[in-house]
A and B are shown apart, each in its own frame.
Chain A
Amino acid sequence: MSTSSVSKGCFVFKPSAKKKKTLSLEDHFIHGCEGTENSEMRFKLCQDLWDTIKTDTEVLQDELNRNILDSLLDFTRKCSSTRQHSDWASQMRASEIPTAALVLGVNVPDHDMTFQGLSELLQQSVTPHVASVQAKECGALKHLMKRVLERLMGAVVTVDDEEEEEEVEQTSAQLHNSVHCSLSTLCDWYNTKSKKSYTGTPGKKRSSPVKDDPQQPPLVIIFKDLEAFNPRVLQDFILICSRYIERLPLMFIFGIATSPSTIQHMLPHSVSSLLCIELFQSLSCTQHLATVIDKFILTTHFPFKLNGKVMQVMISIFLYHDFSVRNFIKGVQLALLEHFHSQPLSVLCCKNKEALLNVMQLGHQDLERIRQLPSFKRYIEKQEPQEQVNLSTDDAHIKEVCQRLIKDLHKYHKNYYPILRCLHTLTSSLPRYPLGKQIRELHLICLEKNVWENEEYQSAMRLLKMLAKDELITLLQKCVEILQLAKSKNMTSALVQLEDVLAKFKQLDVVAAEPPPSVEDCITSPVKNLQKKTDLFQLQKALLEMNESRRSKKLSPFEILRNEAIEFIDGLVKSHLSPPESQTLNEVCYYTSSATVRRHLNATPRTSIQTALNSPYYYLQNDRLKTEDGTVSNAAPDICIVYKLHLECGRLINLFDWLEAYATVVSAAEGNNPDFDNFGKVDDVKHARFIRAVSELEFLGFIKSTRQKTDHVARITWGGC
């Protein structure tokens, strides 16, 4: 989440996606990836896909932030305008600095994009003068000053202190308008600026905005991460600014990760009384994720898919560790790259037509690969013997088959998502959410196994069969809308059927203007009061005895109709929501290795160190290191041996004994015989090696030197983590 984690001794496994940034990405990609013959093509596909995803995410980001940013802009405009007109009340407020507290949630990595967008918008539509500062670049007040002035005036500002002097020297050598670091200089600059713009020579690009006040665009200062700032610095800065507020239309924007109350915690009242704070809440990152998944995962636009496990890993990382959408997308990127990198057949993972062409391009080797695919094997077994032979021998034939299968796969996707959404719309409003509240949960269920086989689904269906008419109709209406968007044959047919079911419902109340109220309420009531029921057991009981009562009395036309509607939905589900593993050639599109993703995105540094030290063979594949578990071969690297030895010691380790033990082990490794007199003698080389190994251990944080005993070191770790 925050880069400071590095300082805590965690290892950062750079996602190999980073390679794409460097030069000659293609070579990187092609070098050592499976099936080199079509690697260029795969690389191209991969890159195109990623680019589309990237652009789309940015667009998405913008429209997600749209409304909050707009409200912010209004706020700034209002403030800058209220400065002008002077009614009795607003004069009293004039002494305060307008401040927007922008609460963005704890997903810090995502904030940068937001602020980027914000400052751009501000510059376009409100004021040319925007400066944004981060905590880590303003340790002291003068640095904060310097940054702010530089960014506002675009000039070099001299700060009088020794450590910076020469740096300032040479910068000021470059351009001459180096000014003293105080707000008064800013004042002068601003006055000249505003005068100039007033006389009509615009200093910077300024569009419509300035209509509200031609000569007084506000100076906006954005504090990106308020929590990280040093409170003292912030206080002093605010104090200074408040002395100039009459002359400078200053404005603050606080980027807050946790909650607005932190302002009260950081600033004493004497300071916070100088601010006029307005609150802005951005939408929560979970909603954000929902939209992202909706746009990128649950759609047919991207042929590339994630299977259940991988999805599970990524989502759990998001929910459990960091609420960062950016990281989530990074994960997708990684999976994408890995898929195209490791799976030669991923050449078929693209839009329908290209895929068909690519099938034609496939070489013999690839076809062999296809034959090896488990899903394809299953497919072959289903065919009758002659066909089987053809498939396993005739390349031309298999290509045709493949084309057909690819088509089927695409059809499958075309049907899968609309039905998924329908099911979700139907079930998401049920009490206790049997199939999950979020669509992603439902999606995960479907990816795992046949959704209609687990009992949550059954109970959901049972509940649906008890819905009151109006509810049911509205839900079905929603489904219709969804299906209208989908444009595959089955979907259109389904749409038709669903619509006439709805029509029947309509007729129903035409026919029986008032159905027997008794039935009506005994139908409507249960689910209603089920809503109130909280614990699962009660729910089941209620359902059972409801069914009992149902059996007893005959069904009303409405109930019949309702049942058949539900049956229809059920049928749709059964026919279209089968898990992707069941589809032939699904390996082409689905990325499956969740282990890789986990290893890259959620590294476990300590355990990997432990393994490296315990069994070096795991990393450096050298047969001499191979040992039966537990022991370390005495040919292992020094640090491993030393580590192993130190595991046997208590809290305090006597260095000399340690050295002795080490010497014996090593000389055993050198293969001089034990009864030889200088066996296990400590010579300089051994000593040196030992010292180095020990210091390496200390560096890795397993031991540290102790005050109380100089010739001893203390263990820091105790197995575990």
Chain B
Amino acid sequence: MSALLQQPGYEEERLQTVAEQLPCREVQAGMLLSLMGQPHQYSYPSIFIYGHRSSGKSHVMHVLLKELELPHATVSCVECVSVALLFEQVLLSFFGCDAASLLPRSPSLSDFVRIYRQRCSQSPAKQTRYIVMEKAELLRDTDANLLPALLRLQELVEDNVTIILLTDIVWDKFRPNTGCFEPLLLHFPDYSKGELQQILSQDRHPSYSAELYSAYINILLGVFYSVCRDLRELRHLAALNFSKFCEPLTEGKVKETDTHKLWRNIEPHLKKAMQTVYLREVSSLQWEQMQQMEKKENGALRGLSAHTHVELPYYSKFLLIAAYLASFNPARTDKRFFVKHHGKIRKTNFLKKNEKTSNHLLGPKPFPLDRLLAIFYSVVDSRVAPTASIFSQISSLVTLQLLTQVSHGDQLDAPKYKCAVSMDFICAISRTVNFEIVKYLYDFL
């Protein structure tokens, strides 16, 4: 396979090690190498590598640059809360910390370029310098000049430097409207099922045979491949469920060769994992504990979203209910629901033709404070004084994100809210104050 990785200017065995570390990515690695050319030769000013998450983009870059000992700076754009950090890291890894210290507080691009130039005039590049930017899509959120400038950095600093952008978003979404220096696009295709199989089989459990593990992986992929192709996720799942898979073996019920039995043993288990671990409903730690428990029955560990019950003060409950009604009922139906003697308005009367889609499909609508209070007063059984704590309860419901405030916080008169809780949540709440909410919901009439 190392035949793919041949490039003059590098030692053979280095390339060999590289090739070994990059299973199923030889083609891309080879491509990159040939683009990079020999260390002292110029390379294309900016290369844009895109591909799905965990398709080995940063891994390949990292291995190449590390193993071949090329001068490089790797920056993750998530980390760069300010451009200063970006500049600092680049200068640091190219010219050492004294260069980085030259940066003024809150430096501009021009400062960066200036320092870079002066430094590289002192120590000109014998080899191509590489700047790798992970999660490059975040560069778009920084100031507009940064991306175009980086793309033509080679020209700006007059140094043999190459920018490599890594992202999982296509280039079209990057291009500024006045255009810019077009980088060289390179696509890292997703791993095929076979490749996944091959890669996952590599990190096998030391105490079991490789065949067994790959068989296991095969089963795993059978369940999850249709949902998720993320290598990281799959590896995680594989690690967590393997012990369960091996149970019959350890208990000596089944031989390793009898894959069918093993399959029947693990299959439902994996299905369950889809609901739980895959969604991080239960943490990996708990998942393992569960498996221990299941040996002696009832591993009924509830996931995070199972814990939806919230204890609320009495009036807060009613406020929430009122909010729910207000945001899922059309305002004009309030009369029918909350006025004592509405003269027998039947649903058909106030059903508009265009209202075929239910509000529970469209989601909550915003409503003004007055409407909320009006409904609240008519819903709550006892007479309530409009005390300060009623209003503070509304705002604290907002801070608890059970309500969301639509209008701006600074606007005092007629603030608008939305109810942000699910149907079954509100049902549970209204059950505790025995108020059957369904009777008051327009969609369920």
Complex alpha-carbon distance, A13 and B284, angstroms: 49
Complex alpha-carbon distance, A182 and B307, angstroms: 35
Binds B, one of A155-163, A401-409, A414-422, A613-621: A155-163
Residue of A4, A96, A266, A607 near B396 (CB, 8 A) is A4
Q: Interface readout for B286-320 with A: 1 if CB under 8 Å, 0 if not?
A: 10100000000000000011111111111110000
Q: List residues of chain B with CB within 8 A of the CB of A92.
A: 235-236, 239-240, 284
- Name the residue on A nearest B135 (C-beta): A239
Contact B409–A182 (Cβ < 8 Å): no
Complex alpha-carbon distance, A262 and B404, angstroms: 14
A/B interface sample: 12 pairs, CB < 8 A: A2-B396, A11-B388, A88-B206, A98-B285, A99-B283, A106-B310, A106-B400, A240-B79, A243-B76, A258-B400, A277-B283, A319-B314
Q: List residues of chain B with CB within 8 A of the CB of A93.
A: 239, 284-285
- In the assembled complex, how far is the CB of residue A323 from the closest CB belonging to chain B, in whole angstroms? 6
Binds B, one of A278-286, A557-565, A655-663: A278-286
Contact B82–A160 (Cβ < 8 Å): yes
Q: List residues of chain A with CB within 8 A of the CB of B82.
A: 142, 159-161, 181
Q: List residues of chain A with CB within 8 A of the CB of B413.
A: 701, 704, 716
Q: Interface readout for A216-255 with B: 1 if CB under 8 Å, 0 if not?
A: 0000000001011000000010011001000000000000
A180 close to chain B: CB less than 8 A: yes
B62 close to chain A: CB less than 8 A: no
Contact B85–A180 (Cβ < 8 Å): yes
A582 close to chain B: CB less than 8 A: no
Q: List residues of chain B with CB within 8 A of the CB of A265.
A: 401
B339 close to chain A: CB less than 8 A: no
Contact A1–B393 (Cβ < 8 Å): yes
Interface size, B (range):
35 or more
Q: Interface readout for A678-721 with B: 1 if CB under 8 Å, 0 if not?
A: 00000000000000000000000100100000000000100011
Contact A262–B385 (Cβ < 8 Å): no
Query: Given A165-B105, A279-B307, do A239 and B78 touch, yes or no (CB 8 Å)?
Result: yes
- In the assembled complex, how far is the CB of residue B230 from the closest CB belonging to chain A, in whole angstroms? 9
Interface size, A (range):
35 or more
Q: Top 9 A-B pairs ranked by shortest CB distance?
A: A5-B392, A92-B239, A721-B386, A321-B389, A1-B396, A142-B81, A2-B396, A261-B305, A160-B84
A605 close to chain B: CB less than 8 A: yes
Binds B, one of A18-26, A268-276, A334-342, A526-534: A268-276
Restricting to A43-97, which residues have a CB under 8 Å from any CB of B?
A: 88-89, 91-93, 96
A145 close to chain B: CB less than 8 A: yes
Q: Interface readout for B195-234 with A: 1 if CB under 8 Å, 0 if not?
A: 0000000000110000000000000000000000000010
Which A residues lie at the B interface, using CB under 8 A? Answer: 1-2, 4-5, 7-13, 88-89, 91-93, 96, 98-99, 101, 103, 105-106, 108, 140-142, 145, 158-162, 165, 168, 180-183, 225, 227-228, 236, 239-240, 243, 257-266, 269-270, 272-273, 275-279, 284-286, 317, 319-323, 602-607, 701, 704, 716, 720-721
Contact A88–B391 (Cβ < 8 Å): no
Complex alpha-carbon distance, A260 and B304, angstroms: 6
B445 close to chain A: CB less than 8 A: no
Query: Given A5-B391, A604-B387, A721-B373, do A275 and B205 touch, yes or no (CB 8 Å)?
Result: no
Restricting to B388-445, which residues have a CB under 8 Å from any CB of A?
A: 388-396, 398-402, 409, 412-415
- In the assembled complex, how far is the CB of residue B254 from the closest CB belonging to chain A, in whole angstroms? 21
Contact A2–B387 (Cβ < 8 Å): no
Q: Interface readout for B72-90 with A: 1 if CB under 8 Å, 0 if not?
A: 0000101101101100100
- In the assembled complex, how far is the CB of residue B81 from the closest CB belonging to chain A, in whole angstroms? 4
Q: List residues of chain A with CB within 8 A of the CB of B284.
A: 92-93, 96, 276
Contact B312–A106 (Cβ < 8 Å): yes
- In the assembled complex, how far is the CB of residue A129 from the closest CB belonging to chain B, in whole angstroms? 20
- In the assembled complex, how far is the CB of residue B93 from the closest CB belonging to chain A, in whole angstroms? 11
Q: List residues of chain A with CB within 8 A of the CB of B288.
A: 89
Residue of A108, A261, A285, A321 near B308 (CB, 8 A) is A261
- Name the residue on A nearest B138 (C-beta): A236
Contact A8–B285 (Cβ < 8 Å): no
Query: Given A160-B84, A180-B85, A701-B413, do A259 and B309 touch, yes or no (CB 8 Å)?
Result: yes
B243 close to chain A: CB less than 8 A: yes
Query: Given A142-B82, A165-B105, do A260 and B388 touch, yes or no (CB 8 Å)?
Result: no
Query: Given A4-B395, A9-B412, A92-B235, do A602 and B304 touch, yes or no (CB 8 Å)?
Result: no
B279 close to chain A: CB less than 8 A: yes
Query: Given A92-B239, A261-B304, do A5 and B106 touch, yes or no (CB 8 Å)?
Result: no
Contact A160–B412 (Cβ < 8 Å): no
Q: List residues of chain B with CB within 8 A of the CB of A273.
A: 233, 236, 280
- Name the residue on A nearest B82 (C-beta): A160
Contact A108–B305 (Cβ < 8 Å): no
Residue of A11, A145, A227 near B400 (CB, 8 A) is A227
Q: A182-B79, A322-B389 are in contact. List 12 more A-B contacts (CB 8 A).
A: A10-B391, A181-B81, A227-B399, A236-B78, A240-B76, A257-B400, A259-B309, A261-B306, A284-B311, A285-B311, A323-B312, A701-B412
